[in-house]
Structure 1
């Protein structure tokens, strides 16, 4: 059984590859740059880009299951979902997982209308996002400066997303389902910084910015903060800094029941509770430590 993993060098894709290998499956990894994939020995790495289906026939050849992502290079949803699904069906792929992005594109309806045994994976906020968003400011200043420090989220470990995908791709009983994947607890941004402080033994703090302070500081061209949300909004909407700031303030400041609701579906699928943010922070503590002898915290 060969499983094709698209987005194989991404945050979640690497974990899908890892868990499939642990299950003894043969893995073919699709990536735009095979020379820089850095995947484990035994993985068949093949070049390709989901945004264009030309030349992808070989990637799907002999594949019985596929892990798909609904976006290409960036966060913009794929425009060629029907073509991708057509390739999979012609190759005889039987089962597919689809990792959703910020919004649906053409892939999801094409998968629903296909003969594939499909399962949608809809994680909440990835714990890995905090490496991108907070590692640099915490290393250099010991502070996270953002709005709405008490905004709640049940972040999920990318390790658990990969485990769910691997289980779904190798087990029966998941077809036609959509899994809302969360961690085991709802945490505020302020509390997560405190957990990272405990993991690193450093004096780290969350400094809350008012909406007006965010507008003044983040709307200046060239001063966009390195937040995953900003990158996603910029890719999808192409908005300027001021518009991006307003979108972020609305998202952070507006209660969202679905985004903050806990789910037990990780445990249902893999048979164990999802990993906690404290476990994740301890495992990644080195990324939040100063890179120079001077600790600015």
Structure 2
């Protein structure tokens, strides 16, 4: 058994590789071309093999996935052609695919969520053995800012089901290695609904709403990525991103990690 992980050099890919390495599972890390140091970084996490492949190149993807028994599919973040990229993975002939989607992909008001829903439709229409994971935003995204002001371009009172990335990785490792998860879509939400204002209290900082127009001026992103995230922030402003922890609790066999515990764990790490 060799499990391939696309997007292996990103934070989600690294976490999934580490979780599989803990189980002693051979892994093949796919990294994008032009990422210096990524090959050695994923090897340090326990990847058995590392290969470079551009997901936009179907022949490269097919060669990189040849012989793999399963693939954990992570697309590049907020990519305008995610359905096409994942289609190349699905066409590569790997018998089992676990797709890293997002909580509530069916919301058309968030374009990159909607794109993931299109990928899920493609999985439904395929002959593959598939599972879909739909995680909320990671609790790890909440970090102490340099000026002790946690700024977001949406309401600081909007509620989220922030989930621990390590819990998501543990679930990924389970569904990749255990039977009984075929044709399932799993919502992965944290154990509580918290706002950015709540998180700021836990971090001991102040929360502040950034004007969305200032965010547009400040962000280095351009084109689809900027516009898609701007649309997401507008949705967050009205609705947040809420979910239910019952599924992840059952998959983990324990309660999912609380945001306070994730933040405390991060603060204990040496600089």
**TM-score category by the smaller chain?**
0.7 to 0.9
> Residue in 2 aligned with 1:255?
239
Q: CA RMSD in A?
A: 2.7
1:72 is the counterpart of 2:45: no
Unaligned stretches of 5+ residues in structure 1: 198-203, 292-297
TM-score where L is the length of structure 1: 0.75
Cα deviation for residue 265 of structure 1 reads 1.5
Query: What is the CA–CA distance in structure 2 between the aligned matches of 1:55 and 1:175, rounded to whole Å?
Result: 27
SS in 2 for 1:21: helix
- The residue number in structure 2 matching 1:128 is 140
Return the alpha-carbon distance in structure 1 between the equivalents of residues 225 and 160 of structure 2.
Answer: 24
Which residue of structure 2 lines up, in the alignment, with residue 96 of structure 1? 97
CA-CA distance at 1:142 after TM superposition:
1.1
Unaligned runs of 5+ in 2: 103-111
SS in 2 for 1:14: helix
1:80 Cα deviation from its structure 2 partner: 4.0
Within 1, Cα distance between the matches of 2:91 and 2:215? 43
Map residues 106-185 of structure 1 onto 2, 5 A cutoff: 107-131=119-143, 135=144, 138-139=145-146, 141-146=147-152, 147-185=154-192
Aligned partners of 1:161 and 1:181 also within 8 Å: yes
CA distance 1:117–1:250, change in 2 (3 Å): same
User: Which of 45, 51, 56 does residue 56 from structure 2 map onto?
Assistant: 51
Determine the C-alpha separation between the residues in 2 that align with 1:166 and 1:21.
9
The structure-2 alpha-carbon separation of the partners of 1:235 and 1:68, relative to structure 1 and needing over 3 Å to count, comes to farther
The answer to whether the Cα contact below 8 Å between 1:2 and 1:65 also exists between their aligned partners in 2 is yes
Q: Which residue of 2 aligns with 1:25?
A: 25
Residue of structure 2 in register with 1:84 after alignment: 89
The 1:205/1:34 distance shift into structure 2, 3 A limit, reads closer
TM-score by length of structure 2 reads 0.82
SS at match of 2:91: helix
SS in 2 for 1:121: strand
CA 1:79–1:175 in structure 2 vs 1: closer, same or farther (change >3 Å)? same
Aligned counterparts of 2:101 and 2:70: Cα–Cα separation in 1: 17
Q: Which residue of 2 aligns with 1:295?
A: none
Q: Deviations over 1:118-155 (max 9, x none)?
A: 11111111223334xxx4xx22x111234422110010
1:184: how far off? 0.8
Q: Which residue in the other structure is 1:236 paired with?
A: 224
- For the 8 Å contact 1:2–1:64, the answer to whether it is kept is yes
Contact 2:79 2:225 in 1 (8 A): no
5 Å-filtered alignment, 1:187-266, equals 187-197=194-204, 204-208=205-209, 214-215=211-212, 217-219=214-216, 221=217, 223-224=218-219, 234=222, 236=224, 239=227, 247=231, 250-255=234-239, 259-266=241-248
Matched length: 253
The answer as to whether partners of 1:154 and 1:187 remain within 8 angstroms in 2 is yes
